[in-house]
Amino acid sequence: RALGPQMAGSSAPWIGSAYLFLQSTCKTIVLPSLYESSQKKPSVFKALKLALADSTGSVNGVDMLKVHCSHPHLIVQLKFCKQENCRRFLQSYREGALQESLQNHLQLSLAMTTVPLEMELKAGNEHLDNMLKDEDRCLECIYREKPDRLRDEEITELEECLKSLIVHQSINNNMAVKDCMSLNSPSLPYPSQGSSLSPQVTFIFQGEEFANRTLTPDDHQKFAKLVSKKWKQVGRSLQKDCRALRDPVIDNLALEYDREGLYEQAYQLLLRFIQSEGKKATIARLIAALEENGLISLAEELLGLHSNEDCS
């Protein structure tokens, strides 16, 4: 059955989602490390907020739902609520205005001489950088990807901080910002890599040794896209040592996301796993569950062993 927009009429709001990948081309500037530092985080957030506002011409043109640290990238999950805002954002991104604006804002808020950036824009599995000239196609890809989460509490806190900073102009007084930030919110999906070693440093798959790591947004999307009907079996394998997936959770997910289809069911399953297990939501555990269910090619895909084949 086709899963088109449920109400194609004008009454349905235009909502879409995309991921903005940011990386500094300067060796000494590591954006995720700056964002993980409690002193620098508000400055980086402020620069993101202002640059995004510049790109759409309004503070509410695009919403940040979450900022993921995935070295060397900072990945910003964006939500658009109006097509014209999304179109403006795409134009600004395509013309390099967003990049220039963000470089300037970061330079100012971090008090650095220059912060050169590289950017990528993705919606689902689509690399939008390859089709920026085709604006309607980009809009369609972003519209297809509905936001999978509400805004992260940390973002709400940073917004509040920013408002109070603007009101008091207490820019020199860093304490206000520090107190405002709970330094490590407990339940963030996609914990940043490397802050503490996962329980198991390496694991064996098909006789080869691989470095263990925490699951990333990219793993999450690939799994959801490729696992298909077997998502429940994989869930049953993961549930053995994950309380958040104990019965009847998996059956409930199947019912709750029945209309959205297999991708969404699989996505929500892994989201539960990541949110409950935190840093222990590792690639090793997912690969073991895939192996147990004979999904070897999906496991290989997640480990990057198919990188030169086109596996769409």
pLDDT at 199: 53
Compute mean pLDDT per 10 residues along the chain, 312 residues long, and list them.
46 89 92 91 94 89 93 94 95 96 92 91 94 96 92 90 63 41 43 47 88 92 95 96 91 92 95 91 95 94 73 46
pTM: 0.52
Percentage of the chain lying above the pLDDT 90 cut: 63
- Give the C-alpha separation, 89 to 20, whole Å: 11
Check residue 165 and give its pLDDT.
66
Please check whether residue 47 is in contact with residue 106, taking contact to mean a CB–CB distance below 8 angstroms: yes
> Which is nearest to 110 in space by CA: 33, 42, 178, 179?
42
Per-residue pLDDT reduced to its tens digit, 71-128: 899 999 999 999 999 999 999 999 999 999 999 999 988 888 889 999 999 999 999 9
The phi-psi region of residue 26 (left if phi > 0; otherwise alpha if psi is between -120 and 50; otherwise beta) is: beta
Q: How far apart are CA 46 and CA 290, in angstroms?
A: 41
What pLDDT does 66 receive?
A: 95
pLDDT at 83: 94
CA distance 241 to 141: 36
293 — phi, psi (to 5°)? Answer: -105, 15
